[in-house]
Amino acid sequence: MSTKSKYLLLKFLKWRYQNISNQQFIRIASAVIGLLAGLGAVMLKNLTHLIQELLEGEFIKEIHSAFYFIFPIIGLLLVRFIKKYIIKKKVGHGIPSTLFAISKLKGIMPSHQMWSSLITAPITIGFGGSVGLEGPTVATGAALGSNFARLFHLNQTTRTLLIGAAAAGAMSSIFKAPIAAIVFAVEIFSLELTLASMIPLLLASITAVLTSYFFFGDDVLLHFNIEDKFQLNDVLFYILLGVSSAAASIYFSKVYFKISAFFRDFKGAHKRLLFGGILLGITVFLVPPLFGEGYSTINNVLKGNIEPIISNNIFHVEVDNILVVIAFLIGLVLFKVIATSLTFGAGGVGGVFAPTLFTGSITGYVFALIINNSNIFSHQLSSTNFAMVGMAGLMAGILQAPLTAIFLIAEITGGYELFVPLMIVSSISFLITKRYIPHNIYASELAKRGELLTHDKDKNVLMLLDLDKVIETNFILLNPEMTLGEIVNNAVAKSSRNHFPVVNDDNEFLGIITLNDIRSIMFNKDLYEKVKVESLMHSASDIIYYEKDSTEEILNKFKMTGAWNLVVIKEGKYFGFISKSRLLTAYRRKLIEVTA
């Protein structure tokens, strides 16, 4: 930032502090961020569609089937080139990178995330990557919110709120569902649902959806009209759909985690790109409906028009053969998660929201198809209604966001006629999936490391504490060969501490000596040369491992041991001590900061 820009910003900040209250400024900022997030969503969508239109030109259409194989690899190569030579920094995976920024970086997101996804995500998806735009759109909006807050020197709590507002704005713009967007921000980012937070979320959601209407008019992402009303005798089948959705959600999550872990073991980005890109190319070549986001497939399913889906492949499935049709649609569900995981593994940029809707719509449609063609049941179900409700079931299971699923589908349908089945399917799918998959795809890695923000305020405050600020290192070190006289003269006499760590020549922790251990003999000079440290030292009550232990685990160690001080080991070496009083004082300060 130039000197003149800094001067103007400083002048504006002075004026703002004098004329606009903090609450008013946050509301104005939320509206602005909603507008920016909406514009980001418009740009991402238009760039993706532009690339897709260019790739589906007249010349390419003549040899189109062959290019289904090569396009994804070309797209991944372009993304790799842009990351390495233009961005020159890591481009995070949308919502997970946003959650990490909130949990561990105090809501600070790198400035390049405001534009990096705008380039890489459309190329990934436009060239056939089997992922969605929603994650990158949310990440772009969140980065705008974070950097806006940093520019105007807003605190951590406000930064987090503006990130949530940006996320709500992004979702509102994509789906034209402002209420569901607010629920999404609260569920996924664990925001406090208070009046202070609701107003900014609402303002961001409104400005974003108005932006979407301005650029796209009445056009919506998912086209659906309720033709068959909910009937009471359908309840049993919606319960069964909830169970089926849970099974599909568990399959999706487990396969995604396993393939992601497989690619993490690859050494070298080029190997990952080639291996994942080739497999992805083969997959979408054999089954073209897996190419790109898949919203055209979803809309065909919601219309009950599956002929374009099952005929657009090398297998030439007959519509009249219902068993083959069911098998092919189940294959789409099974292979969509594989195609999505391969896209990410090969270095693509995108999100899992669209693949979730894709698998959900087909799961619901296939379920209705099986019931309608079964000899066991004489009941006929609305396949389109079950396809729509199936999307909510997979959202509730995979994303573990049941309220978002209910309100999003309710808003998309333009009414609440399916509200009861949405509640039934979403709640069952969520409860069953949660039992087997503790955390959703976005938050799984953070949760494993104990770095995930949740709606548990106590845990959040503990996790947000900066351990480096509570670790004390000004202790006099002892070695095993030191004598009692050296302890008294070189340690006790020169230190205000009452405990002393014992380490070897490699600074590895061996034990501890406290003032109580030597109190009865410290003035007996006859023992000064006879007694050594190794005969006096004892094991620590417990040990804190810097790289592994979360703040919550550290507090539990204090609780279990009853100790007031615990030693910290970092990279296998002695590092310092944490005292219970210092930790609790830091906790109280952070609690005041977070809840201010």
Give the whole-angstrom CA distance, residue 225 versus residue 285.
Answer: 32
- Token pair listed for 432: 């069953």
pLDDT above 80 for 473: yes
pLDDT at 365: 94
pLDDT at 444: 65
pLDDT at 60: 54
Residue 230 or residue 422, greater confidence: 422
Query: The domain 232-451 belongs to what CATH superfamily?
Result: Clc chloride channel (1.10.3080.10)
Residue with tokens 């004390």: 472
> 386 pLDDT band (50/70/90 cuts)?
very high
- Token pair listed for 47: 């760039």
Q: Work out whether strand 573-579 and strand 565-570 pair parallel, antiparallel, or are unpaired.
A: antiparallel
Give the whole-angstrom CA distance, residue 524 versus residue 82.
Answer: 73
SS (H, E, C) 447-508: HHCCCCCCCCHHHHHHHHCCHHHCEECCCCCECCCCEHHHHHHHHHHHCCCCEEEEECCCCC
DSSP 114: G
DSSP 532: B
Three-class SS of residue 108?
A: coil
pLDDT at 448: 55
pLDDT above 70 for 131: yes
Residue 295 or residue 241, greater confidence: 241
- Token pair listed for 427: 């709640």
The pLDDT tens digits of the residues spanning 15-35 come to 777 778 778 888 888 999 999
pLDDT above 80 for 594: no
Q: Work out whether strand 565-570 and strand 543-545 pair parallel, antiparallel, or are unpaired.
A: parallel
pLDDT above 70 for 59: no
The mean pLDDT of 550-569, rounded to a whole number, is: 84
pLDDT at 360: 94
Long-range contacts of 309-314 (CB under 8 A, 24+ apart): 312/288, 313/286, 313/287, 313/288, 313/289, 314/65, 314/285, 314/286
pLDDT above 70 for 399: yes
The mean pLDDT of 30-54, rounded to a whole number, is: 89
pLDDT above 70 for 456: no
Is the fold of 3-216 the same as that of 232-451? yes
CB 577 within 8 A of CB 477: no
Kindly give, in sequence order, each residue whose CB lies less than 8 Å from that of residue 494, ignoring residues fewer than 6 positions away. Answer: 476
Q: Which of the listed CATH numbers 3.40.640.10, 1.10.3080.10, 1.10.150.530, 1.10.1200.10 matches domain 3-216?
A: 1.10.3080.10
Residue 124 corresponds to which amino acid?
T
Backbone angles phi, psi at 163, to 5 degrees: -65, -45
Across the chain, what does the average pLDDT equal? 83
CB 568 within 8 A of CB 575: yes
- Token pair listed for 186: 């609260």
Give the whole-angstrom CA distance, residue 67 versus residue 54.
Answer: 13
The mean pLDDT of 225-230, rounded to a whole number, is: 78
The domain spans of the chain are 3-216, 232-451, 459-594
Instruction: Could you please state the CATH topology (level 3) that the domain comprising 459-594 is classified under.
Output: CBS-domain (3.10.580)
Give the whole-angstrom CA distance, residue 382 versus residue 387.
Answer: 9
pTM of the model: 0.77
CB 327 within 8 A of CB 370: no
Q: Work out whether strand 509-514 and strand 565-570 pair parallel, antiparallel, or are unpaired.
A: unpaired
The mean pLDDT of 215-234, rounded to a whole number, is: 79
The mean pLDDT of 428-455, rounded to a whole number, is: 73
